[in-house]
């Protein structure tokens, strides 16, 4: 049994902040003592703040490490470790890594290899090797207009630690892209295909949810494993 004491710290509790020490054994807090003394063998925090680990619910930081520049694909293992270490260094101990499911034509990685499935397997492989410093869960960004959504999302199961699913509707003329001129500016700033192809894609694939997708949501939501979210459309009213 390993005992550690962090002393002489500003400890942030749910109702107050106090100067004191925290003792824990094998990763579990066993006691909190008030006072500025540093017992023998304790780690002197020198008055620094000691807070609970932060939880990041939605971040694209992993994708930023994977594609740091246009048309540049960084090795995924190195990118995951850099992302993990970066969050650990700022006090985040649990992160929900956002990954898009559903091929859309504006992304450079769009192909039939379904990058979220491959990337999550690489993430879990590093976790199993105990190479990660913090806890990771998945936040799937489901492109509801994509023809490949049902196929992609069906490949995820309860062991994939999917904690959040966001429903993403990027249909031209609706929600985020109600202003077609702004969409055109956005579309022309992306990698090919052109803005016209982008609109044609969504016009052809704006289909209702399929049974497979509903089955996924039913399985995960029914088990209390995920939180289901919709993106705000910016109109002042939530969908």
Give 70-91 pLDDT, tens digit per residue: 788 899 999 999 999 999 999 9
As a whole number, mean pLDDT of residues 221-232 equals: 53
CA-CA distance, 74 to 83, in Å (whole number)? 12
137's CB contacts (< 8 A; 6+ apart) are: 94, 95, 96, 97, 161, 162, 163, 164
pTM > 0.85: no
SS (H, E, C) 150-174: HHHHCCCCHHHCEEEEEEECCCCCC
- Return the higher-pLDDT residue of 4 and 170: 4
> Has residue 213 got a pLDDT over 80?
no
> Has residue 95 got a pLDDT over 60?
yes
CA-CA distance, 55 to 4, in Å (whole number)? 23
As a whole number, mean pLDDT of residues 165-186 equals: 70
CA distances from 56 to 88, 95, 130, 138 (A): 11, 5, 20, 11
């Amino acid at each position: 049994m390993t005992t550690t004491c962090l002393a002489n710290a500003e400890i942030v509790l749910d109702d107050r902040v106090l100067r004191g020490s925290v003792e824990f054994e094998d990763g579990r807090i066993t006691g909190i003592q008030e006072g500025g003394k540093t017992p023998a063998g304790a780690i002197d925090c020198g008055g620094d703040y000691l807070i609970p680990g932060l939880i990041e619910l939605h971040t694209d930081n992993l994708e930023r490490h994977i594609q740091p520049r246009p048309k540049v694909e960084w090795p995924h293992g190195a990118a995951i470790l850099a992302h993990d270490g970066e969050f650990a260094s700022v006090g985040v101990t649990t992160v929900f890594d956002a990954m898009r499911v559903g091929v859309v034509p504006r992304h450079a990685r769009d192909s039939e290899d379904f990058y979220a499935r491959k990337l999550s397997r690489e993430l879990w492989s590093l976790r199993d090797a105990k190479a990660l410093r913090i806890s990771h869960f998945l936040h799937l960004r489901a492109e509801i207009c994509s023809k490949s959504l049902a196929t992609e999302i069906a490949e995820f199961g309860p062991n994939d630690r999917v904690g959040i699913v966001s429903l993403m509707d990027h249909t031209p003329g609706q929600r985020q892209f109600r202003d077609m001129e702004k969409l055109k500016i956005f579309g022309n700033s992306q990698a090919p295909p052109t803005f016209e192809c982008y609109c044609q894609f969504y016009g052809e694939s704006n289909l209702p949810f399929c049974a497979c997708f509903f089955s996924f949501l039913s399985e995960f939501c029914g088990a209390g494993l995920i939180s289901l979210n919709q993106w705000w459309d910016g109109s002042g009213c939530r969908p």
